[in-house]
Each structure stands twice: as structure tokens, then as C-alpha cells.
């Protein structure tokens, strides 16, 4: 919605002119334009973070000397009137490859990291590899939990080389509602959730939840805490909280057949 | 153990503002010598901030400790000047004497060893701060004396020299 | 005295009243009570001195005045006597009687307590003649050894807050022009023209009418303690600078962010702010003007990254110190997204001087591109270590040899490291470089906050690069992959090199890693993190070669590459090394030459340090050093056998 209020301006990307709203983030428009800019920590549902450093591009701003270029991440760089963007210059590619090498060392078993590296021509890494680690500290799980869900169950811990991400005090979280948004946004699959019957276990966060079963078919509808939170936020008919989507569809279909309308 | 009244007075002093969380945590630690978990949970409730935010601050800033600290807190400066004047050897020596690594506390809760990037008395390096008192130009002998003094072990005549 | 002070005339009255009240008695003993001297026992000395003066009934003739840092920390505890100007150093409580009897009673000097020139041993009586001081130009530090930092009257008596009164009677636009003309550049490391930053902040839209000024006192560069001493010695000068800044920029609130490791600075500034408020120099309608402005102190939490301006502001907002990308300057959108002007302590301290004496005076000091002075923390292997204030443009050679007195113990100069972890190490071939912002940056280092760590032949440059890399990895906020992972990998490779496991391929890799960390990181911590590594590779490449190719550490520092040995023809069997060895690796008895078991040796160096007979050697390849011989009493066991 906000983007519609911003003035559309012209920017040049790899020689091509593109129109985009001023001050919106550059990466989203590059991706929309069909450019394959690698990125791992960017997600349109949350504010840009600038952690993975893959979405590097070179820019020249209006008013600069033509040969001046700045290397910057595009996810948190604003669209500016008259901006010139280079997405595949030698410098950009060289640094993207070095970043890929570092990521490969951090999470060698993460498929998406290997894929991105391979596309950049990086098959192997010259630096020391970490074994068994899938998390690249992009922060998406915590950012979504805070900015979208509002549960604030996850956070970064520490700093520097020992930085990590997880729940407060590294134990089962009381704030977690078990919605699974963290798993949905995790780019590498580091966040794993196991659902067995009516029990959900968020493995990485050592947190367990109970599902509320559909009162019709018994399938899980949502976790108890998730439904509590929805109940507080949305004032609608109680039944909807305890009926699974399939049964809801079934019920509405039956209703239409019986009454000729909803 | 901190009472609710004592905690409230700290919060009041900081205007019950979450912008002052760092200052609040520092005041709690100044009183308790560490950050007890229940105090943190209390602050989270009183200020209506997620416990994760407080936990994040407590783990990011090195001056804050989520573990109880010893009666005597010993900080060895490992800044550049102190480093080239032999600070690493002092750290090694204390680790050996006390049986703990930097960042840890002895089991009898007597002694905590910490290292810090610079205490700002660089001309007096290497520097050791014990119980907030600064000891400059620390030598191996001087250190042995200090540490033994804390442990309560007698210092031999040769070491006195 | 009418408090709060509401007019310029009232200020002048308060100042002259203060001068009368503070009129010194016959003798004043300025005793340095900065953090450094406290660490060597200044407070005990002060106690002893006051007690002795009391006992001798000299109370109304002699005043002991505790001041802030004099800068000559190595010679502390120290005092300067008024009116003679005599300087006494490395004092103990036991020296008090001598000083009082000789200098106060007889008007003579206690020779054994005077400064001696290194090399010649020639004594120097007066503070102003000591080369350490004589070669400085102390304008920011002018009052440091003379006023009581806990007493605002002392600052007033010495002309304090006159610049503020002048500023408040001047139109902010004119003040801004003066600061721009003075070419005051940021003293915290960036060297950015303060006037331009002030201007940007002043003209940035502030819909709620709120602008902030911040004083960055998060001096985290190891080896630097200038800002601490400015605040501990003359806190009101910093406050005055900030109020003038607030008036010029149109700011309403000020913050001073002091790092957690400076408790005395926090205490001193807190008292000063309280006094300033009482005197009407902070708060509403300052000095009767339309300016309402106050200052708040925020304590850091032990994070070097909070010296970066966006991280600092995040910390003030109650968040962790994670920097953010700065596509819009903080002068426009900073603290709480409002226009914010952040400057370093020393930068603020220069402001009252510029306002009072004019831009012309300021630019007459220093060089064309870098006007004024700079306070350096001259430490390490230099004879006179401490804080020195010199005009910009002085050569490194002059700084180290004229002011610093040359290398300690007559050893060889190897390098001077400037700019802290963001800077680089410069070799002897660059000693004639002028010390100013641009020359140092061109050489691959930077001025930084002013740390100048002098290193000699006993410093391993590879170890220095490793030290800084590990420091930065630990202090990195950890957000971006390049800084976090890059520094970690660089640290591991340097560990390998220092352990003799390095390869030439790794050197090339270090270059690549350094480059990506430098170019692709989010903030200036990452952006400058590779400087120590890259500058040491550039200027001290042979040491890297030796570590990798020959597994040798010429400075005899890297544990895996050195070997300790007891020299059998010099050992006196005194037994001290055997007793001190933490792993019982030394075998021997009275009258038997001691032998070190290499298998048990952990290279801690305790035997080398504790041997008083010069019988322990440390070697790496063909480089060797023998422990210092201090005692000569006993004869070597082998010789007498």
C-alpha cells in the first residue's frame, strides 16, 4: 500500500530502463524485472536486514562522477531517481563468489546454499568448513516471529563469531505459539518441525505444542496457542477456529446446496 | 536476592522506559553481581517487553552476566598495549592458579576471571583490575601475590622479595 | 553568587568570585588523580600527603589539589609544585616527608624524584622543560593538570563558559561559518569535517522540532585513552562544546555515550552535568537565552561496535549495538529517526576554543588539510608513554623520538600501529610521514582516534595481525556474513601461520578474504577490519615468509615456533625456575645444572622471566634472546664443577 504513495522514478539496470517507486527497496524491483539476484535473508513480509551479502550490486547515484561506483547490497538500498545499477559487473561477481565461499563453509549441507554457489560457479570452498550446521543466521525466523506474528519467541544471542539464534535461555519458549512461520521462511531448512498426530515439536527450539483437532474429522486445525491468539485478534464465529479447512469447505458446499446461498 | 521494591526503584529511576533497558540491566547487575533470571522476567513484565529482547541484550553486551559471579571479580586487560607487554601470559597464569578459564567462576564462587578489550590505562600495562581496584605494571610475581592473597594461601619469603 | 546564572555579566561576576575563592595559597601541589595514576597508587599518596601537611600544621600554606590526567602516565604517581613548576615522578607515600621538608620548607628540590633524560640521565627540574611536555602543544589539555574536575568554580575561574556566553550572543548561522572555516575534522577516527555535519543536521527537516547532539565517548580502540582523560580532567569543556553545538544546530537534547569500562569518567561527568544545571548552564533558558538543552549519560555495555554511530544510536534506543546501512546520513535521520549530530569527545572539546579564539587561530595550528592539534596515546615500547597533544603535521619520527624519548631500553624501532583495529602498522621507512588525516590513510593506515602503539623487535607482526583479527571477530556484531565468517576464517588461518602450519596458498586466500570483508561488509568495523592484516603483509611480508617457509618467529613470540632452554654453562642452580614452572618441566637440584624437559614445556615463559642470572634462552631458527642478568652473586654450577 505504501509503495503506491511513492513517486515513480526511472532507474537504469544493466543498461535497461525500469520504472519503480522512489525509496522502495531496490532488490524487489530487480527480482520483479526478472533478474536472478541471489539472496537468502530477504523476504517481502519483513523489513530488509542485509545479513547474507549475496544481493550485492554496484550503483552510481545521480550527481556522481560517471566512473564512481559503490558496492552495496540491494535489499536495503533505496530506489533513487536517476540511479544506475550494475548487477553483473566483474567486481559484483567476484564478491558474490567470495560470499558464496564463506556461506558454503558455514552450511555446506544446505542445498539452497550449494545451488546458489553452483550458479555462481563456486563448487568448493577454500576455507574451513563447519559440519552439521544448516543455519546461516539470516534471522528470518526471528524477524517473522517478531514483525509478522508478534509472538517474539526467537532472538539472536551473543555476537561475533559465536552469534546464534533461538529462544530465550535456550529452552522451550513460553511465547511461541507453534504457528510454524519460522519453518516456512527458513531458506535452508535449518528450522525443522515434526508433526505427529496431535503433537507438534519445533525441534530446533525444543518447544512442543498440542494441536486442536477438527471437531468434524479430527485432523489438526492449529495449535492451541495459535488459536488462542487468533481468537483474541479476530472476532468471528467460534466454529471456524475448530474446523479444519477441508471440513470448512465441505460445510460451506453443503450449505450452498441446502440453502442456495452462503 | 532483590526485592520487588528495589527493582521498582531501579525501573523508576529509568523512567520505566524500555529505551533504558541497558541501564536498567546494569543497575541490577551492580546490585546483584549478576543478572538473575527472575529479575529479568520481572522487568519484561513490568515494562511489557518480550523476554527475548532482554535476553538478547544480556547476551550481546559483555559487561552483563547471566551466570552468578564470584565474590572477587578479576578483569585482565588484553588490549593491544597490554598484549604486547605480556597480558596473555598473565591470563594463562591465573587460569592455571585458579583452575578456570577466562569467563568462568571457581566452583566455590570465590573468584571470577574476565578479560576485556581495553580499560584505558594503556601506559600502565599490563593491567589487572580486581574488585574494581586497578593494578598497573603487573608482573608475574605481583600477580602471584595478588592471586594467592585472594585464595588465602600464604606467600613465601622468596616471593615477597 | 546568583544561581542560576542568567546573563553574561553574571557569568563574569561568578568567574571573578570563583577566582577569589580559589585563589591559591603560597604552595599548591597538583597531584594527578586520573585513572592511570590511581592504578599506581595516587590516592594513597594523596592521603599520605594531606595527613603529613596536617601534622606539620601547613594546612593554610599548602593546598593539595587532585587533578585529572596530566598525560605522563608512566611516571605516575606524579605531582607538579606551584609556584616553582617542579615535577616529581613515580612517588610513594614514603617520599612525602622529603618533598615537604625540601621543597616547601627549604625551597629546594629532591633530586632523586626528578625526571631523568633517557640515555644521558641528565635531570630536568621543571615540568615545562621535560621533552615529553616541551614538545607538545596543549590546547585541549591546557587545564588538565591544573583544575579540580569535580569543581565547576575552578573551570569558571580559568575562563570557563565564556565561549558559551559569546556563542549565545552570536547568530547560529555565523557560528556555523566559523566552525566550517576552522576546518575542525572529527577526532574520533573518521576525520569528517564537523562543520559540514553540523550544517547537514541543522538544515535537515525536523517536523517535531527535535534534533539531537551526541558525544561519542565509547573509545574502544585498545591502546587509546584520550577521551577518558579529557572527560576526567576537564568535563566542563566537553559540556560547553555540546551546548554551543546545540545552539548552532538547533538541538534540544544531548547524550554522552561513555563506555562501560570508564567508571571514573562517568562519575566525573555526572557531577559536572549536575553542577552545570545548578549554575544555569544546562536546562531551560541557558544563561538567560532562548536555548533549552540538557544532557543525559548513557553507559555502554562492553561492546566495541557501539563506537560505530548507528550502533551507538541503536544502543541508546534500547537495542543491541547492531549497525544499519547508512544510505541516509544520521545527521538527517539518526537517533529515533531524527536529525542527529554525533561527534567525538575531543572534537567537542575543541569547539569552545574555536569560538573563543577564532577560526583563524585554529587554522594557524597544524596543516592546511588538518588544522588544530591531535591528542595521541603514545604507548608501547617508547620511553615516555602517555598522552601527548601535538600540532597536526608533526612527523611520526618527531612524535616518537622527540616527544616519546625514543625506544625503550635502547632497542630498535620496528613499527608504529595507528588507528587501532581499523588502522595499520607503519615501518621505519615511513617515520618521516606527517601525522595528519590524509597522509596516514594514503599509507594504508589511518589516524583513528589517536592511538599510536610503538613496537620493537620483540613484537611479532603476524601475531599483531592475528590479535586484531581475533579482537574484531569477537567484537563484530555478527550480522553480516562477510565480517562474521570472513574474520573467523582469517583468524583460523592466522592461527595456522603462527603455529607453523601456514602455507603460501593461505596467504593468497587471506588477501581475498581481506578484500571481501573490506568491500562487502555492512559497516565500518568490517570495512576497516582487514587493515591490520593487509598493512602487516605489505610492510612486514618477510615475517610472514619466515613463519610459513621456515617455521620461524623472529620476535620469539609464537609459541609453537620457539624453544626455551636452560644454558648449562650459566645455570647457578638457584632453583627458582624449577619452583615456578607450572608443569614441573624442569629437573634439577642444589648444585646440579637444571634441565628443561621439552615434552612438558608449555612455552609459558615463566622460567625466562624469573631467572635472575641470565641463564635461560629463547630461540627460533637462528634468532635467540637470553634472559636478563640482574643478579651476580652465585657462580654458575658448571664453571665450578
DSSP string, C104-155: IIT----GGGSEE-TTT--EE-BGGGSHHHHT---SSSTTTTTS-TT-HHHH
Using a pLDDT cut of 70, give the percent of chain C over it. Answer: 99
Tell me the C-alpha distance between C331 and A159, whole Å.
Answer: 27
Residue B149 in domain: yes
Chain C neighbours among A 75-94 (CB < 8 Å)? Answer: 76-78, 91
In A74-127, at which residue ranges do the beta strands (DSSP E only) sit?
Answer: 84-86
Cβ contact (<8 Å) for A157 and B51?
A: no
Q: Which residues contact B131 (CB under 8 A, 6 or more apart)?
A: B72, B73
> Both B83 and B8 in a single domain?
no
Considering only the beta carbons, identify the residue of C223, C261, C299 that sits closest to B81. Answer: C223
Distance from CA of B52 to the nearest CA of A (A): 5
Chain C residues within 8 A of A85 when measuring between CB atoms: none
Tell me the C-alpha distance between B63 and C303, whole Å.
Answer: 8
Task: Write down which chains contact chain B via at least 3 CB pairs under 8 A.
Answer: A, C
Residue B156 in domain: yes
Instruction: Look at B139-153, C136-150, C198-212, C522-536 and tell me which has the smallest mean pLDDT.
Output: B139-153
Tell me the C-alpha distance between A212 and C445, whole Å.
Answer: 63
Name the grid cell of C281: 548552564
| The pLDDT value given to residue B156 | 54
> Domain containing C400 — which CATH number?
3.10.20.600
Considering only the beta carbons, identify the residue of C35, C221, C260 that sits closest to B121. Answer: C35
Q: Averaged over C335-341, what is the pLDDT?
A: 97
> Both B44 and B105 in a single domain?
no
CATH T-level topology, domain A2-96: Ubiquitin-like (UB roll) (3.10.20)
Q: What are phi and psi of C240, to 5 degrees?
A: -60, -45
> Both C196 and C343 in a single domain?
yes
Tell me the C-alpha distance between A73 and C350, whole Å.
Answer: 37
Nearest to C380 by CA among A138, A185, B130, B87: B87
For each successive 10 residues of chain B (161 residues), what is the average pLDDT?
Answer: 93 96 96 96 97 98 95 93 87 88 93 91 87 87 85 57 37
Residue B82 in domain: yes
| The pLDDT value given to residue C641 | 44
> Both C320 and C381 in a single domain?
no
- Say if residue C455's pLDDT is above 90: yes
Residue C540 in domain: yes
> Both B87 and B137 in a single domain?
yes
| The pLDDT value given to residue A4 | 55
Task: Write down which chains contact chain A via at least 3 CB pairs under 8 A.
Answer: B, C
Chain A residues within 8 A of C509 when measuring between CB atoms: 126-127
Question: In total, how many domains does chain B have?
Answer: 2
- Identify whether the C-beta of residue C231 lies closer than 8 Å to the C-beta of residue C268: yes
> Both C570 and C545 in a single domain?
no
Chain B residues within 8 A of C36 when measuring between CB atoms: 121, 123-124, 136
| The pLDDT value given to residue B155 | 53
Q: Which domain holds residue C266?
A: 152-363
ipTM confidence: 0.91
Cβ contact (<8 Å) for A155 and B37?
A: no
What's the mean pLDDT when you consider all of chain C?
A: 94
- For B117, the closest chain C residue by CA position comes to C222
Residue C635 in domain: yes
> Both B152 and B80 in a single domain?
yes
Residue B67 in domain: no
Cβ contact (<8 Å) for C386 and B117?
A: no
> Both B53 and B108 in a single domain?
no
- Say if residue C640's pLDDT is above 70: no
- For B59, the closest chain A residue by CA position comes to A158
Residue C144 in domain: no
Q: How many CB atoms lie within 10 A of CB C331?
A: 23
- Say if residue C186's pLDDT is above 60: yes
- Identify whether the C-beta of residue C226 lies closer than 8 Å to the C-beta of residue C263: no
The alpha carbon dihedral of A120, A122, A126, A130 has a sign of positive
Considering only the beta carbons, identify the residue of C38, C225, C303 that sits closest to B61. Answer: C303
Distance from CA of A208 to the nearest CA of B (A): 18
Name the grid cell of C213: 547532539
> Both B88 and B152 in a single domain?
yes
> Domain containing B114 — which CATH number?
3.40.30.10
Question: In total, how many domains does chain C have?
Answer: 5
Chain A neighbours among B 55-74 (CB < 8 Å)? Answer: 55-56, 59-60
Using a pLDDT cut of 70, give the percent of chain A over it. Answer: 97
Tell me the C-alpha distance between A6 and A4, whole Å.
Answer: 6
Could you say which of C529, C550, C571 is where a domain stops?
C550
> Both B94 and B155 in a single domain?
yes
Cβ contact (<8 Å) for B123 and C36?
A: yes
> Both C338 and C203 in a single domain?
yes
> Both B80 and B147 in a single domain?
yes
Residue C557 in domain: no
Distance from CA of A201 to the nearest CA of C (A): 28
Q: What are phi and psi of C631, to 5 degrees?
A: -110, 150
Distance from CA of B71 to the nearest CA of C (A): 19
Q: Which domain holds residue B32?
A: 4-60
Domain boundaries, chain A: 2-96, 140-257
Mind giving me the DSSP string for B6-30? HHHHHHHHTTT-GGGHHHHHHHHHH
> Both B92 and B40 in a single domain?
no
| The pLDDT value given to residue B121 | 85
> Both C120 and C201 in a single domain?
no
| The pLDDT value given to residue C635 | 73
Residue B88 in domain: yes
> Both B53 and B79 in a single domain?
no
Could you tell me which residues are beta bridge partners of residue A261? none
| Model pTM above 0.90 | yes
Of the residues C68, C314, C318, C322, the best mutation for testing chain B's interface (the one with the most B CB atoms within 10 Å of its CB) is C318
Read off the DSSP letter of residue C58. Answer: -
Among left, alpha and beta (phi > 0; psi -120 to 50; other), residue C279 is alpha
Under-70 pLDDT residues of chain A: 1-4, 261-262
pLDDT in tens, C399-430: 999 999 899 887 889 999 999 999 999 999 99
Read off the DSSP letter of residue C402. Answer: I
Q: Which residues contact C560 (CB under 8 A, 6 or more apart)?
A: C498, C499, C500, C603
Cβ contact (<8 Å) for C260 and B63?
A: yes
Amino acid at each position: 500500500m505504501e509503495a503506491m504513495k511513492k513517486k515513480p522514478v526511472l532507474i537504469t539496470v544493466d543498461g535497461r530502463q525500469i520504472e519503480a517507486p522512489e525509496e522502495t527497496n531496490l532488490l524487489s524491483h530487480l527480482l520483479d524485472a526478472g533478474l536472478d539476484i541471489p539472496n537468502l535473508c530477504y523476504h517481502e513480509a519483513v523489513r530488509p536486514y542485509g545479513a547474507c551479502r549475496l544481493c550485492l550490486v554496484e550503483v552510481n547515484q545521480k550527481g556522481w562522477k560517471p566512473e564512481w561506483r559503490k558496492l552495496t547490497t540491494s535489499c536495503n538500498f533505496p530506489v533513487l531517481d536517476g540511479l544506475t545499477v550494475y548487477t553483473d559487473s566483474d567486481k559484483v561477481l567476484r564478491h558474490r563468489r567470495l560470499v558464496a565461499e564463506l556461506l558454503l563453509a558455514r552450511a555446506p549441507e544446505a542445498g539452497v546454499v550449494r545451488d546458489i554457489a553452483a550458479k555462481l560457479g563456486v563448487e568448493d570452498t577454500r576455507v574451513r568448513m563447519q559440519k552439521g550446521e544448516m543455519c546461516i543466521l539470516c534471522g528470518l525466523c526471528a524477524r517473522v516471529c517478531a514483525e509478522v506474528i508478534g509472538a517474539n519467541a526467537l532472538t539472536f544471542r551473543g555476537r561475533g563469531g559465536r552469534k546464534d539464534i533461538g529462544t530465550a535461555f535456550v529452552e522451550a519458549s513460553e511465547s511461541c505459539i507453534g504457528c510454524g512461520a519460522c519453518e516456512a521462511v527458513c531458506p535452508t531448512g535449518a528450522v525443522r518441525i515434526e508433526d505427529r498426530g496431535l503433537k507438534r515439536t519445533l525441534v530446533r527450539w525444543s518447544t512442543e505444542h498440542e494441536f486442536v483437532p477438527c471437531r468434524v474429522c479430527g485432523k489438526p486445525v492449529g495449535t492451541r496457542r495459535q488459536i488462542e491468539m487468533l481468537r483474541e485478534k479476530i472476532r468471528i464465529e467460534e466454529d471456524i477456529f475448530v474446523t479444519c479447512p477441508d471440513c470448512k469447505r465441505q460445510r460451506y458446499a453443503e450449505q450452498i446446496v441446502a440453502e442456495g446461498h452462503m | 536476592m532483590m526485592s520487588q521494591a528495589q527493582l521498582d526503584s531501579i525501573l523508576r529511576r529509568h523512567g520505566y522506559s524500555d529505551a533504558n533497558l541497558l541501564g536498567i540491566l546494569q543497575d541490577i547487575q551492580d546490585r546483584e553481581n549478576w543478572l538473575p533470571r527472575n529479575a529479568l522476567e520481572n522487568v519484561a513484565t513490568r515494562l511489557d517487553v518480550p523476554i527475548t529482547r532482554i535476553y538478547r541484550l544480556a547476551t550481546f553486551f559483555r559487561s552483563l552476566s547471566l551466570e552468578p559471579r564470584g565474590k572477587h571479580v578479576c578483569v585482565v586487560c588484553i588490549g593491544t598495549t597490554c598484549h604486547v607487554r605480556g597480558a596473555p601470559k598473565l591470563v594463562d597464569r591465573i587460569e592455571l592458579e585458579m583452575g578456570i578459564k577466562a569467563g568462568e567462576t571457581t566452583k566455590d564462587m570465590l573468584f571470577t576471571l574476565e578479560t576485556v578489550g581495553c580499560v584505558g590505562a594503556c601506559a600502565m600495562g599490563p593491567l589487572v583490575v580486581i574488585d574494581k581496584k586497578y593494578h598497573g605494571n603487573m608482573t608475574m610475581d605481583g600477580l602471584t601475590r595478588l592471586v594467592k592473597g585472594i585464595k588465602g594461601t600464604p606467600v613465601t619469603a622468596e616471593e615477597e622479595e | 553568587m546568583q544561581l542560576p546564572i542568567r546573563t553574561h555579566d553574571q557569568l563574569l561576576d561568578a568567574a571573578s568570585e570563583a577566582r577569589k575563592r580559589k585563589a591559591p595559597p603560597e604552595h599548591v601541589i597538583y597531584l594527578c588523580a586520573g585513572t592511570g595514576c590511581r592504578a599506581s597508587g595516587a590516592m594513597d599518596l594523596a592521603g599520605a600527603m594531606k595527613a603529613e601537611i596536617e601534622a606539620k600544621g601547613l594546612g593554610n600554606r599548602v593546598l593539595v589539589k587532585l587533578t585529572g590526567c596530566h598525560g605522563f602516565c608512566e611516571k605516575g604517581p606524579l605531582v607538579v609544585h606551584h609556584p616553582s613548576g617542579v615535577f616529581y615522578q613515580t612517588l610513594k607515600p614514603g617520599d612525602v616527608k622529603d618533598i615537604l621538608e625540601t621543597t616547601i620548607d627549604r625551597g629546594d628540590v629532591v633530586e632523586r624524584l626528578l625526571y631523568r633524560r633517557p640515555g644521558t640521565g641528565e635531570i630536568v627540574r621543571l615540568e615545562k622543560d621535560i621533552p615529553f611536555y616541551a614538545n607538545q602543544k596543549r590546547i585541549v589539555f591546557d587545564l588538565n593538570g591544573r583544575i579540580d574536575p569535580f569543581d565547576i568554580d575552578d573551570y569558571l575561574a580559568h575562563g570557563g563558559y565564556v565561549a558559551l556566553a559569546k556563542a549565545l550572543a552570536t547568530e547560529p548561522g555565523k557560528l556555523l561559518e566559523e566552525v566550517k572555516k576552522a576546518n575542525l575534522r572529527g577526532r574520533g577516527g573518521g576525520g569528517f569535517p564537523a562543520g559540514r555535519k553540523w550544517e547537514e543536521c541543522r538544515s535537515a527537516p525536523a517536523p517535531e522540532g527535535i534534533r539531537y547532539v551526541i558525544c561519542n565517548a565509547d573509545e574502544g580502540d585498545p591502546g587509546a585513552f584520550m577521551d577518558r582523560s579529557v572527560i576526567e580532567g576537564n568535563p566542563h569543556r566537553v559540556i560547553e562544546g555540546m551546548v554551543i553545538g546545540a545552539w548552532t544546530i538547533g538541538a534540544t537534547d544531548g547524550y554522552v555515550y561513555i563506555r562501560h569500562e570508564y567508571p571514573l569518567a562517568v562519575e566525573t561527568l555526572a557531577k559536572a552535568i549536575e553542577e552545570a544545571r545548578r549554575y544555569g548552564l544546562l536546562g531551560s533558558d541557558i544563561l538567560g537565552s532562548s536555548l533549552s538543552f540538557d544532557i543525559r549519560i548513557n553507559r555502554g555495555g562492553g561492546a566495541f561496535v557501539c563506537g560505530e554511530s548507528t550502533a551507538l544510536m541503536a544502543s541508546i534506543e534500547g537495542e543491541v549495538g547492531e549497525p544499519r546501512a547508512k544510505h541516509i546520513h544520521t545527521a538527517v535521520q539518526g537517533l529515533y529517526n531524527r536529525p542527529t549530530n554525533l561527534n567525538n569527545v575531543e572534537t567537542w572539546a575543541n569547539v569552545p576554543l574555536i569560538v573563543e579564539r577564532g577560526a583563524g587561530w585554529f587554522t594557524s595550528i597544524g596543516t592546511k588539510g588538518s588544522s588544530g592539534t591531535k591528542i595521541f596515546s603514545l604507548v608501547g615500547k617508547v620511553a615516555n608513554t602517555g598522552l601527548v597533544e601535538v600540532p597536526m603535521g608533526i612527523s611520526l619520527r618527531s612524535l616518537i623520538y622527540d616527544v616519546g624519548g625514543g625506544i625503550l631500553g635502547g632497542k630498535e624501532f620496528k613499527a608504529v600501529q595507528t588507528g587501532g583495529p581499523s588502522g595499520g602498522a607503519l615501518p621505519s621507512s615511513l617515520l618521516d610521514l606527517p601525522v595528519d588525516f590524509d597522509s596516514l590513510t594514503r599509507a594504508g593506515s589511518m589516524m583513528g582516534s589517536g592511538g599510536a602503539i610503538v613496537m620493537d623487535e620483540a613484537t611479532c607482526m603476524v601475531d599483531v595481525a592475528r590479535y586484531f583479527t581475533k579482537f574484531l571477530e569477537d567484537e563484530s556484531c555478527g550480522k553480516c556474513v562477510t565480517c562474521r565468517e570472513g574474520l573467523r576464517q582469517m583468524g583460523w588461518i592466522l592461527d595456522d601461520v603462527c603455529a607453523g602450519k601456514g602455507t603460501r596458498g593461505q596467504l593468497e586466500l587471506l588477501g581475498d578474504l581481506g578484500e571481501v570483508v573490506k568491500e562487502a561488509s555492512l559497516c565500518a568495523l568490517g570495512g576497516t577490519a582487514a587493515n591490520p592484516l593487509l598493512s602487516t603483509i605489505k610492510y612486514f611480508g618477510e615475517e610472514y615468509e619466515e613463519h610459513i617457509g621456515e617455521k620461524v618467529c623472529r620476535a620469539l613470540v609464537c609459541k609453537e615456533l620457539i624453544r626455551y632452554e636452560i644454558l648449562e654453562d650459566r645455570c647457578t642452580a638457584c632453583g627458582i625456575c624449577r619452583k615456578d614452572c607450572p608443569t614441573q618441566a624442569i629437573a634439577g637440584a642444589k648444585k646440579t645444572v637444571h634441565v628443561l624437559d621439552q615434552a612438558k614445556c608449555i612455552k609459558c615463559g615463566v622460567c625466562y622471566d624469573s631467572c635472575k642470572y641470565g641463564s635461560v634462552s629463547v630461540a627460533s631458527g637462528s634468532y635467540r634472546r637470553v634472559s636478563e642478568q640482574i643478579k651476580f652473586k652465585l657462580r654458575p654450577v658448571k664453571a665450578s664443577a
